[in-house]
Amino acid sequence: MEMEEEPVNLISDEEEETSSSDAESEDSSDVNLPSCSHRNPTPQQEEESSSSSSESDSEESSESSDEGPEPPTTRASVAKHSECQANKRAIEARNFDIQAKKRRLEEEKAYRKQKLREIEIYRPGQCMKYMYVEMHPTLASAWYMSDVARELEAAGARIQPTPTLVHPGLIVWTRVLPMKLRTVDGQVQLSSSKQHCGMSLYVCTSDEVAERVADSTLMPHIDSLREMVDGDLSVIVFVNFNIGSRSSGRRTVNSSRKTLTELQMEQIKIDLLISTGVDVQFMDNTSELAMWIMQCTRAVAEAPFKKAKRELDYAASGFYMRGDNRKCVAVDKEGHGLGRLWQQMVSVLPTASLEVARALCGKYTSPAALMEGMERPTGVGELADLGVARTGVPDSRARRLGPEFARKLHLLYSSRNGSIVHLVTRYYSSDSIQPTVALDNATIPLKKKIVHKKAVAEDLSQKEGHYLTLAYCTADCYDLKSLKEALVQQKLYEPGTLKAHEVGDVLVANAVYTIGSEPREIIFFREGAVVFWNCTELEASNVLAFLKPYEIESYPREVIEKEREVMTYFYQPNVKKCHLQESCFVMVPERDNSLERYTFSHAMVQSARLGAWEARLEALASSVRYHTASMEKEGAAHVDKKELYYIVNSNISQVVRKLGELFSLRHRLNVESDMLDTPDFYWEEEELERLYSNTLAYFTISRRTRVLNERLGHCVELLELLSSWAQDRHHIRLEWMIIALILAEVCFELLHIFERYVDRDTVVEH
């Protein structure tokens, strides 16, 4: 929901311009006066010179009285003195101009800083702390508004009780402007002002709506509110638990108040929308109401900035499609940028690297070209023979794209059946599932996997000074002793330890052969994870293949590639501490950063391991997802027993095995791993603990761990339910078998009794 306000000029320079080099050079050094041989004489010098000149004149006049008058010798000195004075005045004028220019630049800097502070109240991410939500004290103390204050305070906004509102059910928004000097009653004071945002909400319960509908006063009441408020009005109707059923309009048992059915509420919503043009929202609980008011507050706060930005973007550059995120691609109205967008769309496919996307988009310049090529009989073969260049390896031969990827891409872009496309996107790299499964079970619900923030490998050649960092989780554990011996025999990497500190369960390997000035380093963790520093994806793939014999309980290749973590790092001068900046690690140059690298690597490994566990849980939960949807729709009594046994692998023992896997995963997450607390290594290293905590927060480890625990609990409950249901069915089957046996025994006994009576009758007759 985005709400508009009056257009405000909010777009200004983000960074302050520095002063010109001429001004700085002129300000940094004073102007030196040129040396003058003739300067203004002092009074003593004038007296001495006058006395000496008078004596010499008297002597000379007596000696040479017959000679003519001598020309004055002070004309040259007077000219030089006047020239020096002129130069001095020129230099003083120049210094005055420099100082004036310096003051002007300082004033411009101060003005720009002031403007930046002024537009901060509109910028997304900072504007919420300037927002006030004004409501009547009666409304603020209502029971259905109990969660509103908590949500608004968490978002940064504040609630201000305002008894002077025109109606007790109204909510209005105001923005506090920065403090300025203002003249109040002839006195200059530093005060702040408030700006009305032009948007209001009306909160009421369904009981109030029912009363006004019964009295036919709802429409006039809304019209009067629209006239009294300043700006637009959006009506919120809070639906409480006294609402009637959908089909009948009978009242509740313990209440004599008038109630409305859901159908009547929908009719009221349509009537208000058509007659008054207001927006009506139905809220079912207090948390939903609080979240809606918080979202409205955020939309009102960000509306001026977004509106000004859209107008500026449209007027300046005329982009057809553009985003503010770092990974977005800008496309103008002439179509420039569509090729880059097409390449990015291909690169996000599973098992498709940046090199594959470049090669594919080089041959097929658009999705239409790829679909035309796939429709040809030889399309799959041409795509499989497509050469993919290897980045970072000069003079290397291009590899083939391969038939497996070509077949899946052909199925994805040439199919007209949405079920098959869903199968390809869901099980893109699984060989054990055939397309017929998706055709038979077309109603399988969409997969809802935990989505967390991940980086994407970029073309680092475009970023000078940035180096790649890759983290993989490939197994449950590594045999570090055997791995170290193998590295020594291979002679490509030199095993070592962390400098100045001893860290257990970690093996550090440095590349023997260097490429460039930055060394390459690999850190192996005993928990089955490895981190590559300044290594290409090709080198990392070769090392992962080398690791296979030393892995214990290896993970599938698809999970390893999908759940990897990608970051970059660079060296920044004039910094004293390593830190995390967006998706990059900032290192201190000309210093040993081995412990900081280990800290960053440890956090990346935690994220990769958590991702592998999430994928494992998803694989366990996907086997029963379709069955749970069927149980929800039809009930357990309508579920086929064979279908249930197929989902739980046709055996109760398989259900127990799945439960064991879930409990094992929960044990690793909560007991064996250090996801829930800080490792002991960082207790004595305060700076490293800060780096570790910040990196974990970047990868949202805490939230993902909490969500994974909750999902584990739900899956355990579901499997226990299925196990109990299957055991009950098995017990019922055994009971019916026993009943059948008893019934057969009774039949046999009756038959024997009948035979006895028949024999007795025959004996009596004879």
> What does the pLDDT look like over 153-197, one tens digit per residue?
888 888 888 888 888 888 988 888 766 656 666 666 656 677 888
Average pLDDT over every residue of 348-354: 74
Q: In 3D, which of 296, 212, 293 has the Cα closest to residue 258? A: 212
Q: Which of 562-566, 625-629, 667-671 has the lowest mean pLDDT?
A: 625-629
Instruction: Supply the pLDDT for residue 447.
Output: 41
CA proximity to 360, closest of 380, 335, 388, 340: 388
pLDDT surpasses 50 at 335: yes
Helix (H) or strand (E) holding 46: helix 43-63
Percent helix, strand and coil across the chain, each to the nearest 5: 55, 15, 35
Class of domain 336-440: mainly alpha
Model pLDDT for residues 278-314, shown as the tens digit of each residue: 888 888 788 888 888 888 888 888 888 888 877 766 6
CB count, 10 Å around CB of 46? 11
Q: Which position has the token pair 């981190």? A: 531
Taking a C-beta distance cutoff of 8 angstroms, is the pair 367, 551 a contact? no
The three-state (H, E, C) secondary structure of 4-28, written as one string = CCCCCCCCCCCCCCCCCHHHHHHHH
| Side chain identity, residue 471 | A
Residue 214 has pLDDT above 60, yes or no: yes
For residues 227 and 727, what is the distance between their CA atoms, to the nearest angstrom? 67
Nearest by Cα to 606 from 481, 698, 497 = 698
Q: What is the mean pLDDT of residues 542-554?
A: 88
The least confident of 331-335, 426-430, 646-650 is 426-430
| Distance in angstroms (rounded) separating the CA atoms of residues 361 and 352 | 12
Contacts of 210 (CB under 8 A, 6+ apart): 257, 258, 259, 260
Question: Strands 584-587 and 579-581: what pairing?
Answer: antiparallel
Question: What pLDDT sits at residue 17?
Answer: 42
Which whole number is the average pLDDT over 22-43?
43
Predicted model pTM: 0.40
- The domain limits of the chain are 1-18+81-181+190-304, 336-440, 460-722
Query: Beta strand 194-205 with 170-176: parallel, antiparallel or unpaired?
Result: antiparallel
The CA radius of gyration of the chain, in Å to the nearest whole number, is 41
**What are the helix and strand counts (H, E) for the chain?**
25, 22
pLDDT-derived band of residue 361, with 50, 70 and 90 as boundaries?
confident
Cβ atoms of 511 and 493 closer than 8 Å: yes
Q: Which residue stretches of 393-462 are H helix?
A: 403-414, 418-426, 435-440
Cβ count near 355 (within 10 Å): 20
In the chain, the N- to C-terminal Cα span, in Å, equals 103
> In the prediction, which pLDDT does 743 show?
93
Average pLDDT over residues 475-503: 80
Phi then psi dihedrals of residue 580, to 5 deg: -100, 125
Mean pLDDT on 406-423: 65
580: part of which helix (H) or strand (E)? Answer: strand 579-581
Angle (deg, nearest 10), helices 148-155 and 286-316:
30
CA distance 350 to 290: 39
The predicted-structure confidence for 638-686, as pLDDT tens digits, reads as follows: 455 555 554 444 456 666 677 777 777 777 777 777 777 777 777 778 8
Task: State whether CATH 1.10.3720.10 applies to domain 1-18+81-181+190-304.
Answer: no
Q: How far apart are CA 223 and CA 537, in angstroms?
A: 65
Strands (E), 65-123: none
The label of the residue with tokens 């291979």 reads: 490
Q: Minimum mean pLDDT among 156-160, 552-556, 727-731, 762-766: which range?
A: 762-766
How far apart (Å, rounded) are the C-alpha atoms in residues 544 and 553?
Answer: 14
